[in-house]
Amino acid sequence: MKTLLIGLKKRLSIKNIAQAKFFMSALIMLFSLGATAQSITLPAVKIQNLDAFKGQYISVYFATGTPATIGLTPEQISLREIRAKVSFAITNSVEMVDKMTVAISGFSIPYNVLLVVIHNQPNFSWINANGSFPLGEQESQNHRAMVIRSFLKTETDQLIRDGIIYLSL
C-alpha cells in the first residue's frame, strides 16, 4: 500500500492522497468481512419410498461440487466440499433429516448439490471419480453404494414445502 501511495503522490494532491488511503482501507475492510464465517440454515429433508431399503444405511450430503451431466452416471459427480452430512440406518419407509445450521466462510454458496446415497454398511465415504475425497469428508474403506441420487439446488428449491425438501426414491 505504501508503494502505491508513493506512486500516487506524484500525481495527486494531499487531499486526493487522503481519499486514496480511505478508499484502500475501505476495500481491505470489505474483503476481510467477506472472509468471515457466517451461519446458514439448511432445510430439512424428507425421503420417501424407502421400504425396499429397510436395514440399509442412508447418507445425505449438502455439498458444493460439479453435478453429473448428460451422458454421465450419478457416480461421476465431483464434490468439492461437504457442508453437512447425515448418515443413519433406515428403519422406516419415510425418513427425515432435520434442518441444521452450518458455518460457511465469506461469499461462498451454502450448497449446490444434494446427494442421497444408500449403502449396506455404516461409515460410507464419498470418493470422486478421480479418486479424491471432497474437503470435509472422513475417509473410510466403504465406497460402495446401492443407490445414488443427486439433485441440483435449483431442483431442490422446487421440492421445498414448509421448509422441507420432499424427495422420493
Q: What CA–CA distance (Å, rounded) separates 42 from 61?
A: 11
Inform me whether the pLDDT recorded for 43 exceeds 80. yes
Residue pointed to by grid coordinates 428449491: 157
Measured CA to CA in angstroms, residue 134 lies from 48, 65, 138, 143 at distances of 27, 9, 9, 13
Q: Looking at residue 22, what is its pLDDT?
A: 62
Nearest of 86, 87, 95, 89 to residue 56 by alpha carbon = 89
Q: Looking at residue 145, what is its pLDDT?
A: 85
Inform me whether the pLDDT recorded for 110 exceeds 80. yes
Q: What CA–CA distance (Å, rounded) separates 51 from 73?
A: 24
Inform me whether the pLDDT recorded for 8 exceeds 50. no
Confidence of residue 70 (pLDDT cuts 50, 70, 90): low
Inform me whether the pLDDT recorded for 68 exceeds 60. yes
> Coil, helix or strand for 145?
coil
pTM exceeding 0.75: no
> Coil, helix or strand for 53?
helix
